[in-house]
Structures are given as C-alpha cells and as structure tokens.
Chains A and B, each alone.
Chain A
Amino acid sequence: MKAGRGLSPYELMDEELVEMAQNGDRNAFTILVKRYQDRIYNLIYRYVGNVEDALDLTQETFIKAFVKLGEFRGNSKFYTWLYRIAVNACIDFRRRERISIVHWDDIKPNEFDRLDMDESMNSVDVVGEDNNPEMHMLKSELKQIVREAISALPEHLRIVLILREYEDLSYEEIASIVGCRVGTVKSRLFQAREMLKRKLSPYISI
C-alpha cells in the first residue's frame, strides 16, 4: 500500500483510504476498520446490550461495508455511511433474534427509590469530588437504571437517542444515518427523553 504525499497510510483522510479500498486495497480498508471499530462497537453494544452479539454485529458491519464499498459515492461522510450499515445490522438482528426486551413495566422503583439529585450532583460522573462510596453506588445504580430504561425504549426512538447521547452526532448526521428528516430526529429525541423522564422520575428527586 502506497500513501501519497509522503504520509503514513494511517495519516490519510477517510476519502483517500476509501478510494484505495475501492481499488481493491484491503489494507486501506483495515485502517478504516481500526479507525472506526470502537465507535461502531459502542453503537451496537448500546443497542443490543451484550458483548458477544455486539462483536458479531461489528464484524458483520465491516464485512458488509467492504462488500458494498463500490456503492459508496462520497455523498456523505464515510463514517455516517458506516453507521447506517451498523444501524441496519442492529435492526435486522433484532428482527432475527427477538431479543428479550426489558419492558417499561419491569423497571420499578426499588430500595433506591429516590436518588436525591441536588445541585452538587451536577456531574453524574463516577466518583466526583465527593469520594463518598455510598454516593458512588447511587450514581452507578442510576446509570444502570437509565441503561435499562433506554433498552426498553421503542426501537426508532432508542437508535436516535443512542446516536445523539453516546455518539454525539449532529441532528443532520443522525437524519442521514436513520434516513429521515432533521425535524423527525428532533421529534424522536423529544419523545425519547420524555419517556425516559417519565419512567425515571421516581428515581430522581430535584
């Protein structure tokens, strides 16, 4: 594999690597896989919720991308195109496997009924300034509850929320990945957050 301009292949832009891969350079494609494997894995893992399936689907996504590389015309960014393949793989997987879904009604307040969220808890990051183990446990518990609540969201809302919150993509990028309008993305995010808030309100006391 030769890289122009005296750059190492790892320094090349996506577009250049894609072109090389389209001309049959498998090593160029391997660099693209290295570049995006964590992002794609994270998206899929957040969607399916377990490591084995997430790994399988990540591999499937990249193989599909390689096979379909000729269809990529550069109208969008390479990674949004990759995300689109990953999202479709997730949806197909869901249809195939019929994963046991956590239903809204399964998430019920327990002994951690109300996690008092005062202003000092602005950052829910793991053990912040307060090294209080009890507070740390409460935060971890909240994260777990939030994860379960997200996995119980309807698919079309969940995928948009994951792309926004975990992947930090713009509305335009999400619209391009999911194949809808920006207005639809806004509306789905609004609905997803409303549902989460409704479900999690027993755990959060402001």
Chain B
Amino acid sequence: MRRECKKARKYMSLMLDGEITRSALKWFEAHINRCVACRAELRALQVISQAIRSEGRVKAPIDVSEHIAPMLWQVHPAETTRRQYLKPFLLPLAFSLSLLLAVCCIWVRWKSNEGADVARMQIPPVYVHAHLLNADQAQVFLNPMTNLTIVEASSWR
C-alpha cells in the first residue's frame, strides 16, 4: 500500500464521523478523486456504517422506571447522605485546619528561636584559643536543649 493510501485510510474513519479537519478533508478528497482503491475502501466503510445506523435504537421492552421504582426504596444511597451531611462543614473545616497549622508553625519557630536565645543568655561563653579553631577570634556555646556545641568565629582563616 502506498504511503498516501495509508494516510487516506486513517482519515476515512474521521471522515465517516464528520471529525476530519478542513485541511485534511481537502487533501483526502483530492486523493479519493484519483485513487480507485481508496474510493472503493471508503464506499465499503460507508455501506457498513449505513447498515449499522439504519437499525436505529432498540427500545426497552418494558418500562424500566416502573420496574425498579419499588427497588429504589430497598436500597440506601449511603454515600449521598454522608456527603450531603458533610457538605456545609467542609469549607469551614478546611479553613480552621489551615489556620491551626499556620499557628503551630509560627509557635514552633518562635519557640526554637527562644531556645537559642536562652542558651546564648544562660550559658556563659567559653573562650577558646582561636588558633585551635583556625579562626581569628572564637567563642563556644553549649545549647542545653539540643546538647549541641555552637562555635561562633569572627572570621575563619
């Protein structure tokens, strides 16, 4: 099969559904006019499609709505009830949770700063020989909350 014909076959399905773009349709029509094989292919597809569509819609042999009406009283749309019940509370709940989270973050941050300040205030600095730390001037603090040693050097060499 030629490459052009292959392309045309792909357009045939879109053509049947009326979903082909204008530029593609232009190319397709030009191809169909000169290619006998593709014309026959398109015709076959049209015949099949018409055979399917001509059957129309089969109607339900009974009124399903009447048939299932009593059954609807036996089933409980549990999801419906729960969702409907929760719906008015969802937005305020989400807002409250976000607010609580923000307050917690601020509090944690404030507490950690406070801890560092307390450590700095309460523990007297220990002066060490700067040359041991390879710095011009250095102070060593011990943070009692974290038990970590903090070294402050004016400038490292």
Contacts and interface: CB of A to CB of B under 8 A. Distances in A.
Interface of A: 22-24, 26, 29-31, 33-34, 37-39, 41-42, 45-46, 51, 55, 58-59, 62-63, 66-71, 117, 121-126, 139, 142-143, 146-147, 150, 164-166, 171, 186, 189-190, 193-194, 196-197, 200-201, 204, 206
B64 to A, nearest CB: 4
B14 to A, nearest CB: 7
Contacts, number: 141
Nearest to B40: A206
B21 to A, nearest CB: 12
B19 interface: yes
Name the prevailing secondary structure of the A interface residues: helix
Interface of B: 9-10, 12-14, 16-17, 19, 40-41, 43-45, 47-55, 57-65, 67-69, 71-73, 75-84
A142 to B, nearest CB: 5
Nearest to A192: B13
B10 A146 contact: no
Given A143-B54, A166-B55, A33 B64 contact: yes
Given A67-B78, A193-B16, 19 more contacts: A26-B69, A29-B72, A38-B60, A41-B64, A42-B57, A59-B68, A63-B71, A66-B72, A67-B76, A67-B77, A70-B80, A142-B51, A164-B17, A165-B53, A166-B57, A186-B14, A197-B41, A204-B48, A206-B43
